[in-house]
Amino acid sequence: MMKAAVLGYGTIGSGVVEILEKKKDLITAETGQEVSVKYVLDLRDFPGDPVERILVHDFNIILNDPEVGLVIETMGGTGKAYEFVKAALLAGKHACTSNKALVAKYGSELLAIAREKNLNFQFEASVGGGIPIIRPLYSCLTAGNVTEITGILNGTTNFMLTKMDREGRAYEDVLKEAQALGYAERDPSADVEGHDACRKIAILASIALGQFVDYEDIETRGITDITKADMAYAKEMGLSIKLLASCKVEDGKVYASVSPKLLREGHPLYTVSGVFNAVFVRGDMTGDLMFYGSGAGKLPTASAVVADVVEITKNSDRCVYPGWRDEKLELSANTGAVNQYFVRFSAGDKEVEKQALEAFGTEEITVLRQEPGFAFLTARMTRGEYEEKAAAFPQICQMIPVQE
Amino acid sequence: MMKAAVLGYGTIGSGVVEILEKKKDLITAETGQEVSVKYVLDLRDFPGDPVERILVHDFNIILNDPEVGLVIETMGGTGKAYEFVKAALLAGKHACTSNKALVAKYGSELLAIAREKNLNFQFEASVGGGIPIIRPLYSCLTAGNVTEITGILNGTTNFMLTKMDREGRAYEDVLKEAQALGYAERDPSADVEGHDACRKIAILASIALGQFVDYEDIETRGITDITKADMAYAKEMGLSIKLLASCKVEDGKVYASVSPKLLREGHPLYTVSGVFNAVFVRGDMTGDLMFYGSGAGKLPTASAVVADVVEITKNSDRCVYPGWRDEKLELSANTGAVNQYFVRFSAGDKEVEKQALEAFGTEEITVLRQEPGFAFLTARMTRGEYEEKAAAFPQICQMIPVQE
């Protein structure tokens, strides 16, 4: 018998309680024992909800109950969530979480405590919602090195970009729709400015490369400056604009970024649309892989949490360690990363166009014109080289790297 | 220290030896111990190959060496491979394999022995080459029930269908190219008649549903009757013909088949082209997922085998059981499965067309004509209903179900 406490009875927490109840027989068959929720912690009351009889407002009741072997954190944030998970691990209880902010900021410390105490700290649901990605990274892709991991990790922005692309609508317009549908918050900055995707790629990169990648080191750009004009040009070029969170190893250097990027048709991420998420992984032994699914939503995310509960229950006598070295991995400056770039000029006559092509293009390139401006894809060059050249052209109003 | 023996020094076996050597440091870091290959078994000699010094021709040397803790089977087939793996497990050695035929036929028995002996028998590489799919199924998708698992599981046929689609070429023509490129065998029947995909979906279904699915019960149709005309019609309808291996649960009934099917744009498998493989999984809790990657090839497949080696080494004191009940799952007759159908008439005037539409179509349907014949998509109906109606039309020369 594994007795668990669920911290937070919001969307994910209530989904976890629901699945643990609805799938009780399946989970008992899988783990060989009954998994039951002894407490749910929330500041609020839920009059009439069946959870009422196990609801507590004081975490110490959970912490001090030796029967509780597992704490399931779905509160979010890095305040109380951190305090409670750390206290639970120190008290000898396993923990799992759906909280990317917690894992990105305190993952190294919490994993170290779990290992020290021979406990599990797991967080499959913190990235990619219902998509199995963290466990496959550390239990299936172990025969070689990951050289790139690139994800569409934020469903809200992917929904918005898909709408802009397919319906030719403006950013502000699709943001309002995303808010009306509940996909975007009233303050949408965590999504649209890329902070959510940044924490997620930091977690994936830490596991894939086996060393702590600090999200604060990752250059992060959102989608707030993507316009109808950019979308129209991209479409004409047969390219798709996606918000990509990426970490690449090239010649021993590690580059990481969150940025809108242009994808070519044929790239596995090209067709990932709407609120779906996907993670592309390139390994030196496996070749190219992609994991695709619902990146958010109550039941998909809660099911990933419950999968952690099942694994922890099956391995309650040992620490299954996702494994990253705590020593921080030093990222290289993105000025050294090589790409092609989509460049848009707000204005410029044929003479400006000629100068621009001389500066940016060494290969045959196609220029598209939407008067009074134009746009094209540059030759491959480092970001540093691009920026040097771009300084001479004040008419440049947009630059988006092309994903290779 | 884990000492292993590799059975078979063909493409996969030599890839395994190569990766275990090349990635020694990584694997030691992951498992906390050195993994070394003590023997390679093959009937052939390999003069000049470094493997020469550990090559043996007699399995008993491996079986009787108490230092060997793990047998890695990459020989293929169900003769010696079965005999050796079973003997190894009975002798207290862990085993892993890339051999789908072995797992589909003897998986239940070998898993039972492994469990009985507290050993591991793993087979990640047996389906989908380098794609992590078996371990995610039993370690990540445990919080709910899988209601459908559908895969493009044979790279050879997917390569051929992609060529036929994109280049308008005939079956015989692309088969020759696949043979010239080494994708297809001189006797291509295992691939083109669907037998390879059949064994793979049987393994996936057994794990996903937790109960033994016998490949011999799965209705299997290959791609040998797919013509240029079918491809041309499908293209005009915006559909893509793929060889799909599928298992679905509907109203408590389980249907399984290997068959060419038509996919609509927007289905995650629609864009999977060339030699790539992909597995689509629908869960009642997770929603829709897809796993995509290289389904074959020396290093991708060998890397999946080595990932098993790593997991087995990490869990050498316990049996990590993929978990299916041995009692055979009874499949329902596919005559009860509901689909739309692509139907092609080799000939038929407007009167025949009118009769056909009256028989097959209750919804608005579009008929495409390529004189002297025509084709259309029927309304949704069971296969049984379809066959009853089709009996009245001897002009029907092709039927392909539409994937829902």
Domains of chain B, by residue range, sit at: 2-129+298-314, 135-294, 336-402
Cβ of A143 within 8 Å of Cβ of B19? The answer is yes
Give ipTM to 2 decimals: 0.95
- Chain B residues with CB inside 8 Å of A124's CB? 140
Considering B93, B100, B200, B261, which one is annotated as catalytic?
Answer: B200
Which pLDDT tens digit goes with each residue over B60-76? Answer: 999 999 999 999 999 99
pLDDT at A367: 83
Cα–Cα distances in Å, from B38 out to A352, B9, B27, B51, B86?
68, 13, 16, 10, 19
| Predicted local distance difference test score (pLDDT) of residue B325 | 87
CB-closest option in B19, B271, B290 to A285: B19
Digits of tens for pLDDT over chain A (404 positions)? 999 999 999 999 999 999 999 999 999 999 999 999 999 999 999 999 999 999 999 999 999 999 999 999 999 999 999 999 999 999 999 999 999 999 999 999 999 999 999 999 999 999 999 999 999 999 999 999 999 999 999 999 999 999 999 999 999 999 999 999 999 999 999 999 999 999 999 999 999 999 999 999 999 999 999 999 999 999 999 999 999 999 999 999 999 999 999 999 999 999 999 999 999 999 999 999 999 999 888 999 999 999 999 999 999 999 998 779 889 999 999 999 999 999 999 999 999 999 999 999 866 677 888 888 999 999 999 999 999 999 999 999 999 999 99
Of A297, A363, A312, A374, residue with least CA distance to A135: A312
Nearest residue of A to residue B123, measured between CA atoms: A140
Residue B169 pLDDT? 96
Fold (CATH) for A338-402 = Alpha-Beta Plaits (3.30.70)
Does 3.40.50.720 match the CATH number of domain B2-129+298-314?
A: yes
Q: Which residue of A has its CA nearest to B122?
A: A140
Assigned CATH for B336-402:
3.30.70.260
What is the reported pLDDT for A362? Answer: 63
Nearest to B135 among A30, A139, A305 (CB): A139
Contact A19 B307 (CB under 8 A): no
To the nearest whole Å, the CA of B201 is away from the closest chain A CA by 19
- Look-up of token digits 């959510």: A196
- The partner residue sitting opposite A310, judged by closest CB among B143, B268, B292, is B143
Residue among A140, A293, A305 minimizing CB distance to B307: A140
Token code pair at residue A361: 């293009």
Mean pLDDT of B77-90: 98
pLDDT value for A321: 81
Q: From the CA of B142, how many Å to the nearest CA of chain A?
A: 5
Taking CA–CA distances from A314, the nearest residue in chain B reads: B320
Contacts of B30 in chain A (CB under 8 A): 142, 323
Residue A309, C-beta contacts closer than 8 angstroms, at least 6 positions apart? A2, A4, A16, A20, A27, A35, A70, A72, A96, B143
Shortest Cα distance, chain B CAs vs residue A31, angstroms: 10
**Tokens found for residue B392:** 């009245």
Residue A361's pLDDT is 85
Q: Do B285 and A144 touch (CB under 8 A)?
A: no
Instruction: Give me the total of CB pairs closer than 8 Å, taking one residue from chain A and one from chain B.
Output: 169
pLDDT at B363 (0 to 100):
62
Q: Catalytic residue at A314?
A: no
Query: What are residue B401's DSSP bridge partners?
Result: B341
- What is the Cα gyration radius of chain A? 23
pTM score above 0.80: yes
For residues B146-152, give the mean pLDDT. 98
Q: How large is the C-alpha radius of gyration of chain B? A: 23
The residue-averaged pLDDT of B280-302 equals 95
Measure A256 CA to nearest chain B CA, in Å. Answer: 22
Distance CA B373, CA B395 (A): 9
- Residue B279: alpha-carbon gap to chain centroid: 9
CB-based contact B343:B203 (threshold 8 Å) = no
Report chain B's mean pLDDT, rounded to a whole number.
Answer: 96
Closest CA in chain B for residue A24:
B143
| pLDDT, tens digit, 9 for 90 and up, residues B87-123 | 999 999 999 999 999 999 999 999 999 999 999 999 9
Whole-angstrom distance, CA of residue A211 vs CA of residue B30: 13
CATH of segment(s) B135-294: 3.30.360.10
Is residue B364's pLDDT more than 70? no
Q: Give every strand in the sheet of A35-41, ordered side by side.
A: A55-56, A35-41, A2-7, A68-73, A94-97, A121-122
pLDDT-derived band at B355 (thresholds 50, 70, 90) equals very high
Which of A28, A140, A292 best probes binding to B when mutated, by most B CB atoms within 10 angstroms? A140
pLDDT, residue B368, reads 87
Average pLDDT in the B138-145 region?
95
Nearest residue in A to B321, CA atom: A30
CB contact under 8 A, B292 and A287: no
pLDDT of residue A364: 60
Please tell me the predicted confidence (pLDDT) of residue B376: 94
Interchain contact, B287 vs A297, CB within 8 Å: yes
Mutation site for A-interface testing, chosen from B21, B264, B290 by largest number of A Cβ within 10 Å: B290
Residue A283 to residue A289: CA distance in whole angstroms: 8
Contact B290 A286 (CB under 8 A): no
